[in-house]
Chains A and B, each alone.
Chain A
Amino acid sequence: MGSLTRYLCRRLLAAVPLLVGATLIAFLLGVAAPGDPAREALGMSGVREPTEQELQAMREQLGLHRPLAVQYGLWLIKAAQGDLGVSYITKEPVAKELLRRLPHTLALAIGAVLIAAMTGIPLGIWMAARRNRWEDHLGRTVALLLVSVPGFWLAILFILLFSETWGLLPTSGFGGWRELLMPSAVLASGTGAVLMRLSRAAMLEVMNQNYMLTAKAKGLGELGVLIGHGLKNMLIPVVTVLGSSFGGIVGGAVIVEVIFAIPGIGRYAVEAIYRRDYPVIQGYVLFTSIVYVLFNLLVDLVYTWVQPQIRLGGAVR
């Protein structure tokens, strides 16, 4: 397993510059933010019109008088210890609040991935089986529609139909699966559409392989060939895309969280932006980056496990 260990180490090392880059961007965002953090901080503690001395004192207290590189270094050390600073508004530690909200966003994202996989993959296979017939054309049109429709609009349409008109589902909040169903479905729409197209293409590719012909020649029915021999061979590219889309879904949950009033990390970030609460915005950027990088790493590891050629250094077909 020497080569596997080496591969894992290489992948882990590759994640380091990503995280360093993320911290640098998060830090620079705070620098680029308009306004004077010292004035903001004083304003938050009730000093409306600070004197020059008070501002100077606050700048020193916040470390703003030091060179940028030193400020970044200090910020990085604190971030590495899990200290992302304190919200200007609530005075709560940012890291703690992000961790408290993360499960809501994760539940939403997992729901979305499940819905996307359970609809996108079977529909894609079905489209491949009915290639160039009306079912295929309909499926492709639906997929194209789903990637074209803005998520916020789809969300409001869903509320209008399922909550207001038919009264089937609650409009907002966070609790059981009933609250999660609509927001997850909206979040899943784009990924589901991509999966439909991808599964269709992957299945068509697999259907051209000789072993499929062999299976058919042995007298297996069309469905039996597709499920028994096609499915597991087309799933590898599909699952890779599905896995790497998860991180993007976590990042893209913002709109859905805002519309359905879900207390996740995206809504926290948007509220922070409205109030110019920069430590929270920085924390959000860093936090989503870590989730994204870690998840992509996890997908890579699973992929290595499923597809041994990679870890043995062979070519992937």
Chain B
Amino acid sequence: MNRTSLLDAFRSPMAAAALSFLAVVAAISAFAPLLAPCDPEAVDMGNRLAPFSLSHPLGTDHLGRDVLSRLLHGGRHTLLLALAASAATMAIGLALGIVSGYFGGFADDAIQWFVQLFQGLPGLSFMLAIAGTLGPGAASLFIAVVITSWADFSRIVRGETLKLREEHYVEAVRAMGSGHGRIMLRHLMPNLLGPIVVLFTVRIGRTMLAIASLSFLGLGLQPPLPDWGVMVSDARTYFRSYPHLMILPGMCIAAVSLAINLLGDALRDGWDARTERNGEEWR
């Protein structure tokens, strides 16, 4: 997928809707302190589990904290962390994938040994064990996510690089005397943009769910942080009598994750459409 078809993919109505929704979520997250009616961490034990009211539009939780304010703040940490961890995953996976695919030989063998190791082992168990051993918090989550997800990324980048390496234009720039670094950065990387954007998008969605799940287990982001995963975890004890405390933050996670997946699908369709077109040209 070149840059034009990437833009085409963004023009599909589904992708546009998903992207607009995500932009709104990003804006809400960024400006949550200004939008929220209350302090999301302000405890008011005299006003626990209050019903919907004017001062608390979505009621209060088991510590009397304003649910709406917590929901508005709830995406900030998870999304930022998912973005950062996915970016780090992408950087590592991209670097190793290009080097592996471009040079081949010993570098390829060595890198692929690690890729096969991490792909052949159960990622979820490792993520749980790493995050759990390093102790709760954003740093542990970050490390656990990056360690368990770089391999998939690099394998796909390697596959794409292997295809590109054989293209005539790579041969041409090499003949004109470009160094390896320049070829990889200036000539291979731009052509890898399509798969990278798709992988990155899908990775953010998965990372977000992983962070929320670990936070739910009490191994990720920690209370009293206003976070959707933490909120569902907090509400577990009260969900029989106060189901909305758990349904609302869960819906936020599901909606953002759905939008990311829709976007990923639209982008992948754009990417596939081009490969299909290429296939037709061959016949």
A residues neighboring B (CB under 8 Å): 14-15, 17-18, 21-22, 25-26, 29-30, 32-34, 144-145, 147-153, 156-157, 159-160, 164, 247-248, 250-252, 254-255, 258, 266, 269-270, 272-274, 278, 281-282, 284-285, 288-289, 291-293, 296
Contact = CB atoms under 8 A, between A and B. Distances in A.
Contact of A25 (B126, B212, B232, B246): B126
B193 interface: no
A99 B204 CA distance: 35
Contacts of A266: 128
B142 interface: no
Contact of B125 (A17, A157, A289): A289
Given A247-B122, A248-B123, A150 B130 contact: no
6 A-B pairs with the lowest CB-CB distances in the bound complex, closest first: A273-B132, A153-B250, A251-B122, A148-B258, A288-B125, A251-B124
Contacts of B246: 153, 156
Given A145-B258, A148-B257, A254-B217, A33 B236 contact: no
Interface in B97-126: 113, 116-117, 120-126
B265 A29 contact: no
Interface of B: 113, 116-117, 120-126, 128-130, 132-135, 205, 209, 212-213, 216-219, 229, 232, 236, 239-240, 243, 246-247, 250, 253-254, 257-258, 260-262, 265
Contacts of B125: 251, 254, 269, 284-285, 288-289, 292
A254 B124 contact: yes
B261 A147 contact: yes
20 contacts: A33-B133, A34-B135, A144-B261, A147-B261, A148-B260, A149-B250, A150-B229, A150-B254, A153-B250, A156-B239, A156-B250, A159-B239, A250-B122, A269-B125, A274-B218, A278-B133, A284-B129, A291-B122, A292-B121, A292-B125
Contact of B232 (A15, A22, A153, A248): A153
A21 B121 contact: yes
A269 B132 contact: yes
Given A150-B254, A157-B250, A247-B122, 13 more contacts: A18-B120, A33-B133, A148-B254, A159-B239, A160-B240, A251-B123, A251-B124, A254-B217, A269-B125, A273-B133, A281-B133, A289-B122, A292-B122
B121 A18 contact: yes
Given A21-B121, A22-B121, A160-B239, A149 B254 contact: yes
A136 B147 CA distance: 37
A18 B121 CA distance: 7
Nearest to A26: B129
Contacts of A251: 122-125
A296 B116 CA distance: 13
A285 B239 contact: no
A264 B260 CA distance: 32
B1 to A, nearest CB: 19
B274 to A, nearest CB: 18
A151 B219 CA distance: 16
A144 B258 contact: yes
Given A156-B236, A160-B243, A289-B125, A258 B217 contact: yes
Given A18-B117, A281-B133, A288-B122, A148 B261 contact: yes
Given A160-B243, A255-B216, A269 B128 contact: yes
Contacts of A291: 122
Contacts of B217: 254-255, 258, 270
Contacts of A30: 133
B227 to A, nearest CB: 13
A285 B129 contact: yes
Contact of B213 (A32, A34, A150, A293): A150
A55 B150 CA distance: 39
A26 B217 CA distance: 21
A294 B129 CA distance: 20
A288 B232 CA distance: 28
A270 B128 contact: yes
A165 to B, nearest CB: 10
A32 B253 contact: no
B187 to A, nearest CB: 31
Given A150-B213, A274-B218, A157 B247 contact: yes
B119 to A, nearest CB: 9
Contacts of A273: 128-129, 132-133, 219
Nearest to A24: B117
B212 A150 contact: yes
A150 B128 contact: no
A281 B132 contact: yes
Contacts of B216: 150, 152, 255
A25 B129 CA distance: 10
A269 B257 CA distance: 27
Nearest to B261: A148
B125, B218, B250: most-surrounded residue (chain A CB, <10 A): B125
A296 B120 contact: yes
B130 A29 contact: yes
B120, B229, B236: most-surrounded residue (chain A CB, <10 A): B120
Nearest to B131: A273
B120 A281 contact: no
A191 to B, nearest CB: 13
Contacts of A153: 232, 246, 250, 253-254
